[in-house]
Amino acid sequence: MKKNAFTLIELLVIISILTILYTIVLVSYKNVRSNALDAKRKADIDSIKKAYETNYDPTANGGQGGYKPLQDSNFASGKIPTPPEGGSYIFFVGPGAGGLNSNTAYKVCATMNDNTSTCATSTQGDTTLITQINSLSNSTCDPTNSLIYGLIGYWKMDETTNWNNTAGEVKDSSGNNHNGVASGATVSTGKFGNAGQFDGNNDYINAGQVLPTDKTLPFTFSAWVKPAAAGAGSWRTIIGTNTSFAEIALSDANSPVFGQNGGGGLPWVVNTSFMVTNDSWYHIVGVFDGTKASLYVDNELKAGPTNYSFTNNHGVSLMGRYSITGGEWMNGLVDDARIYNRALSAGEVGLLYNSGNGCL
């Protein structure tokens, strides 16, 4: 009798063989893909390092030397390489403020599929800074290390003793020595560890000149804020750069705002339908990319991107009041305040909101 069908056992054997073959092929594909991605990451790190070293100018920064910012045109692909998983290879670039017109050191890193890191650092420039950044390790809350890129001022406000109007007492954790002086403001329990407490009456922190003065350059302000009650018609400054300059603040209607305070006839970047509630924490971020301004609250884009052009150059960075002569005093808590000399992406704003907690 002619056999014209597989027995159940034969079918099971065939299925088992096919499953094994599929598993072998899948594992092989994943290994090949992982190896290919790792090879790309290593090639990207190498190309970024070469571009930085090509961009080194020994005459920059008054003869100190410095690395010019990377441009898309520095790469054959026409674009600065980024990791396959997104984010940035840039681990550290700086410092780029305080009168320096070029960065003095850099570090670029890629995380491989086996969770090891491949990095490249400066071979020219500030050897002391190079030694410092080589000791930095990748952060678990920011695996692509993008949040340290362009961070020129970072005040955790985690001091354990009260401030007393002493130079350098409000520590800058960005590595750029923009330590602030507190006038009236005190240390209190914050969103993460401690925070700065402002009573709405002459309390503020002066961190000096943090942003480059040039009003056309990109920047980002970020802070956690827990507002307390304010009198009718009272505005509350979170971070600002002196009279008629850039700031993030709370309006007299309790709406977060970003833009230029006074002068130039510029409107605020604001969603007037959104208002904060006193005694609750909010993450407020203002982003300027050179042509457009955006306002985020708790990882939501509340306003913008709006075409924007600041009319005044940046002055000293203040927290708690809008001007060195006073006014628009903060009443409440401010924690984890940051200033970047670049525009954070929406994804990076999300990283700060979801993984903040002192994350570098």
Q: Which of 121, 148, 175 is the last residue of a domain?
A: 148
Determine the Cα–Cα distance for residues 191 and 56; give it in Å rounded to an integer.
41
* Alpha helices for the chain (secondary structure H): 8-54, 127-134, 346-355
Q: What is the pLDDT of residue 146?
A: 64
pLDDT of residue 221: 92
* HSE-up (13 A, CA, CB side) for residue 27: 6
Alpha carbon separation from 309 to 93, 315, 323 (Å, rounded) = 26, 16, 20
Cβ-proximal residues to 288 (8 Å cutoff; 6+ apart), any chain: 218, 219, 220, 246, 294, 308, 310, 343
- Give dist(CA 100, CA 243) in Å, integer: 24
Query: Are 44 and 170 members of one domain?
Result: no
Q: Do 248 and 257 form a contact (C-beta atoms < 8 A)?
A: yes
Last residue of a domain, one of 124, 148, 172: 148
The reported pLDDT for the residue numbered 333 is: 92
pLDDT at site 92: 60
196 and 98 within one domain = no
74 lies in the same domain as 208: no
191 & 335 share domain: yes
Same domain, 93 and 156: no
Q: Is residue 2 part of a domain?
A: no
pLDDT of res. 96:
43
What pLDDT, on a 0 to 100 scale, did the predictor assign at position 135?
Answer: 58
* 0.75 exceeded by pTM: no
Q: Tell me the residue range of the domain where 103 lies.
A: 34-148
Contact 207, 227 (CB under 8 A): no
Token representation of residue 274: 């959104």
Residue written as tokens 């700086």? 94
**Judging by beta carbons within 10 Å of its beta carbon (0-12, 13-18, 19+), is residue 137 exposed, middle or buried?**
exposed
Is residue 21 domain-resident? no
Among 63, 182, 49, smallest CA distance to 107 is for: 49
Q: Could you tell me if 341 and 298 lie in one domain?
A: yes
> Same domain for 195 and 117?
no
232 and 100 belong to one structural domain: no
Question: Is 296 found in the same domain as 187?
Answer: yes
Query: In the chain, which stretches have pLDDT less than 50?
Result: 96-101, 140, 232, 357-358, 360
| CA 343/CA 103 separation, integer angstroms | 17
Strand partners, 189: 194
Number of domains in the chain: 2
CATH of the domain at 280: 2.60.120.200
> How many angstroms separate the CA atoms of 95 and 222, rounded?
19
Q: In this structure, are 100 and 196 located in the same domain?
A: no
In a domain, 205, yes or no: yes
- Domain edge (last residue) among 148, 172, 193: 148
**Shared domain check, 226 and 243:** yes
Predicted local distance difference test score (pLDDT) of residue 360: 47
Say what the pLDDT of residue 304 is. Answer: 80
169 in the same domain as 130: no
Asked if residue 201 is part of any domain, the answer here is yes
Q: What is the pLDDT of residue 99?
A: 38
**3 domain-assigned:** no
Instruction: Tell whether 23 is covered by a domain.
Output: no
Q: What is the DSSP string of 8-25?
A: HHHHHHHHHHHHHHHHHH
